[in-house]
Amino acid sequence: MLWILTYPLLAGTPVVFDGGSGAEVVSAVAARTGLPPSQLSAVSLDTLLQATPEVLGDAVMRRCARSSSSNEVVRTDLTRAEIAWAQADALNTMDHLDLAVARLGCLTEVVEPRVASRVFLLRGALLAQRGDTDAARNEFRTARFLDPAVAWRDDLPGEGRVVFEAPAPPEILASVRVLPSDNASGPWIDGVELDDELRVPEGLHLAQYSSVAGIQSAWLSVGGDTLLVLPGNFHRPVVQRMAVPEDQGAVEALLAAALPEMRAAYVAHGGGLWLITRDGHDTTTTEIDPLPPPEPEPEGRGRKKKKKEKGKTRRG
């Protein structure tokens, strides 16, 4: 399935709301903050919930860029690769393996880890035969992520066996978490269901998650602690969580995933207003108090005193 990600084209600072008129919400926020309405853009919660999954932290997601696939199709690609290898056709073997990797990233069902592991085992063997030891080592690592019990095959090139069986340094583990965490099924990393948190070695992993369209897949290059955000799996009420400081992190993550270019955004709900700002990985949430009413104008003066806006700030 081809993912085409579109973000709202915003003329000003986003104002996230759930229900009611966007124009009325912008007008109310403008009156409360003193900003002109032209510097604000209404963004409905529905728009955020339609955003594609995103990773926050030290990871890169490579989404499917072709038609959806199945385990049966991957098995067929692997079989063709093994036939080509038996015929000493290394070039055609790698072509079929490349296709299998692309289709693994487009699966619409939970991966068969052993089949996927064999794909990477054979890829690593061919790369080792070419003399590309570093690339071969990475392929073997992914093969083991998918199937820790994967064993060497005697019909593969001996150059690959040396790399495969060489002592490896201790793996650096990273934390992978998901929001929301109350999913009916999944997500899965390398075929293992992720509950609240999963610790995985840094490297290439297959991430899969449930959506309204079924199971979707993507390759995840993990370099450190990662948060997988699934906007479509959030359930109302969502923005209501802003009223509880301990729950604001979920809304902050949703906005960061759905509006990745956002540096600041307002969230309006139930008479409350919050400003969320981002600076790199740092997020700050400030509750905006209403502007104080204008002071009575003293007799004989045409100027009013101006008070500073007050607010409560939460840093995340």
Domains of the chain by residue range: 13-53+232-315, 58-229
Whole-model pTM? 0.82
The pLDDT, as a whole number, for residue 279 is: 86
The pLDDT, as a whole number, for residue 192 is: 93
Low-confidence ranges of the chain (pLDDT < 50): 1-10, 305-309
Residue that the structure tokens 């790199």 belong to? 280
